């Protein structure tokens, strides 16, 4: 059994990610005491029913007091306000972390509230689903998924090691990088794909009624995969685009240029350009499978019955 890593762990925000961390910490006995805070009384009541926390409270400050590690699991637009609430009660040596999908803006919002005697070590588990809330979480969410840790300059090395250990103990593979690099990488691997999905599903929704019903009927031709991504939480994704503005706009600019080149190839019947591009992209899919980030099982017809309820986002 993995030894208890922290005496008291506090999770702020009992949604998909917060409740998954709580379940993983609990299942693997990584904390002496696990306290979960959520501002919503109904969510707190549900967490009590689900029974994955030792203590449940509506007050983030109450949860953070005496905690060895506090993990903020709210939409990135709310991270600064939560840090302001918990910062004054952090005990000496406490680690304050988060799980936000954007790192630069979150770091800027949280850092001013962290007292000198505590350590801010932001992180982002690159794992999720399109579901939200305390019922959506599950303990194996992070297994064999990446968790990117983005320590600010000058932060205590031992605090970084301890947070990395916690993520590894939950089954994640850990990579340390700068917040700036994280935001650029995630802009192309996660944020832009979500924007494209929201856009294509929105375009389909605006089609006249007769065409729209056939879009739903024949959605297996690729559209259905976009609808899964476009069903992701609106608050979370609104915040991601507002908070990672620069990197998303940079990648969107490149994407638009490349899309225009494809448009041009189609217009002028340049089959060679299309073939070359599609061959190149097929190789990228192969390398993702080789790195163990996907399986090679065919999926366009859906692995119907055995398809897991929760997939990586
Ligand atoms: P979620 O299921 O919607 O849960 C978010 C929780 O935070 C809810 O309990 C919510 O309470 C609470 N909350 C919302 N705004 C708040 C605020 N301003 N102050 C305090 N609490 C607030 O969201 P999630 O999917 O777990 O996402 C949480 C974080 O994980 C986000 O930063 C996201 O970027 C990151 N993340 C998500 C995924 C994913 O696939 N979903 C993957 C990796 C990382 P209410 O019900 O009262 O709003």
**Predicted confidence band of residue 310 (pLDDT cuts 50, 70, 90):** very low
Pair 24, 137: CB distance under 8 Å: no
CA 30/CA 9 separation, integer angstroms = 9
Are 134 and 217 part of one and the same domain? no
What's the CA-to-centroid distance between 275 and ligand 1, angstroms? Answer: 41
Ligand 1 close to Cβ of residue 134 (< 6 A): no
pLDDT one-digit tens code per residue, 32-91: 999 999 999 999 999 999 999 999 999 999 999 999 999 999 999 999 999 999 999 999
**Phi, psi for 164 (deg, rounded to 5):** -60, -40
Per the DSSP assignment, residues forming a β-bridge with 120 are 96
Pair 30, 58: CB distance under 8 Å: no
pLDDT > 90 fraction of the chain, expressed in percent and rounded: 81
Ligand 1 close to Cβ of residue 85 (< 6 A): no
Are 78 and 133 part of one and the same domain? yes
Ligand 1 close to Cβ of residue 82 (< 6 A): yes
The count of structural domains within the chain is: 2
Residue 1 lies in a domain: no
What's the CA-to-centroid distance between 218 and ligand 1, angstroms? Answer: 33
CA 151/CA 272 separation, integer angstroms = 45
What's the CA-to-centroid distance between 58 and ligand 1, angstroms? Answer: 15
Ligand 1 close to Cβ of residue 122 (< 6 A): no
Ligand 1 close to Cβ of residue 228 (< 6 A): no
Residue 230 lies in a domain: yes
Question: How does strand 123-125 pair with strand 146-149?
Answer: antiparallel
Q: Write the secondary structure of 9-20 as one string of H (helix), E (strand) and C (coil).
A: EEEECCCHHHHH
Q: What is the pLDDT of residue 308?
A: 44
Handedness of CA 263, 196, 188, 139 (dihedral sign): negative
Pair 38, 58: CB distance under 8 Å: yes
Residue 135 lies in a domain: yes
pLDDT one-digit tens code per residue, 171-213: 999 999 999 999 999 999 999 999 999 999 999 988 888 888 8
**Predicted confidence band of residue 300 (pLDDT cuts 50, 70, 90):** low
What's the CA-to-centroid distance between 75 and ligand 1, angstroms? Answer: 4
- Which amino acid residue places its CA nearest to atom 40 of ligand 1? 128
Q: What is the pTM of this model?
A: 0.91
Are 233 and 274 part of one and the same domain? yes
Q: Last residue of some domain: 138, 159, 177?
A: 177
Element containing residue 175 per DSSP (H, E): strand 173-176
Q: What is the pLDDT of residue 216?
A: 85
pLDDT greater than 90 at residue 2 = no
Are 254 and 133 part of one and the same domain? no
CA 137/CA 116 separation, integer angstroms = 33
Q: DSSP for 149-160, please give it.
A: E-PPTT--HHHH
* CATH label of the domain that carries residue 23: 3.40.50.720
- Which amino acid residue places its CA nearest to atom 23 of ligand 1? 15
User: Which parts of the chain fold into alpha helices (H)?
Assistant: 16-27, 41-50, 60-64, 79-86, 104-110, 157-169, 179-186, 192-205, 209-217, 223-230, 234-243, 245-267, 271-290
What's the CA-to-centroid distance between 286 and ligand 1, angstroms? Answer: 33
pLDDT greater than 70 at residue 294 = yes
Residue 286 lies in a domain: yes
Ligand 1 close to Cβ of residue 72 (< 6 A): no
pLDDT one-digit tens code per residue, 228-276: 999 999 999 999 999 999 999 999 999 999 999 999 999 999 999 999 9
Residue 159 lies in a domain: yes
Domain with 91, as residue range(s), is 6-177
pLDDT one-digit tens code per residue, 95-114: 999 999 999 999 999 999 99
Scanning the structure block, which residue is given the tokens 């916690």?
166
Burial class (CB in 10 A: 0-12, 13-18, 19+), 166: buried
Are 12 and 78 part of one and the same domain? yes
**Phi, psi for 142 (deg, rounded to 5):** -95, 0
Are 59 and 146 part of one and the same domain? yes
CA 108/CA 119 separation, integer angstroms = 14
Are 39 and 186 part of one and the same domain? no
What's the CA-to-centroid distance between 7 and ligand 1, angstroms? Answer: 25
């Amino acid at each position: 059994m993995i030894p208890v890593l922290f005496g008291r762990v506090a999770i702020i925000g009992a949604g998909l990610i917060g409740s998954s961390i709580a379940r993983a910490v609990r299942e693997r006995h990584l904390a002496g005491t696990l306290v979960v805070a959520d501002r919503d009384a109904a969510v707190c009541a549900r967490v009590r029913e689900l029974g994955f926390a030792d203590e449940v409270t509506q007050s983030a400050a109450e949860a953070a007091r005496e905690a060895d590690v506090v993990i903020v699991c709210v939409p990135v637009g709310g991270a600064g306000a939560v840090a302001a609430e918990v910062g004054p009660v952090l005990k000496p040596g406490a680690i304050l972390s988060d799980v936000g999908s954007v790192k630069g803006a979150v770091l800027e919002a949280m850092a001013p509230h962290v007292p000198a005697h505590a350590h801010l070590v932001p992180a982002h588990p690159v794992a999720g689903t399109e579901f939200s809330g305390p019922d959506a979480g599950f303990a194996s969410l992070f297994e064999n998924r990446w968790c990117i840790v983005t320590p600010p300059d000058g932060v205590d090395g031992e605090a970084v090691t301890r947070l990395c250990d916690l993520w590894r103990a939950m089954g994640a593979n850990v990579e340390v990088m700068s917040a700036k690099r994280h935001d650029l990488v995630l802009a192309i691997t996660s944020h832009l794909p979500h924007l494209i999905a929201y856009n294509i599903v929105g375009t389909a929704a605006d089609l006249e009624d007769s065409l729209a019903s056939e879009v739903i009927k024949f959605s297996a031709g690729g559209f259905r995969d976009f609808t899964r991504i476009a069903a992701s939480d609106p608050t979370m994704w609104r915040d991601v685009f507002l908070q990672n503005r620069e990197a998303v706009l940079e990648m969107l600019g490149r994407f638009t240029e490349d899309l225009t080149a494809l448009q041009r190839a189609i217009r002028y019947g340049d089959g060679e350009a299309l073939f070359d591009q599609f061959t190149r992209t097929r190789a990228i899919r192969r390398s993702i499978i080789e790195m163990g980030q996907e399986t090679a099982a065919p999926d366009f017809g859906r692995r119907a019955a055995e398809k897991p309820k929760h997939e990586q986002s």
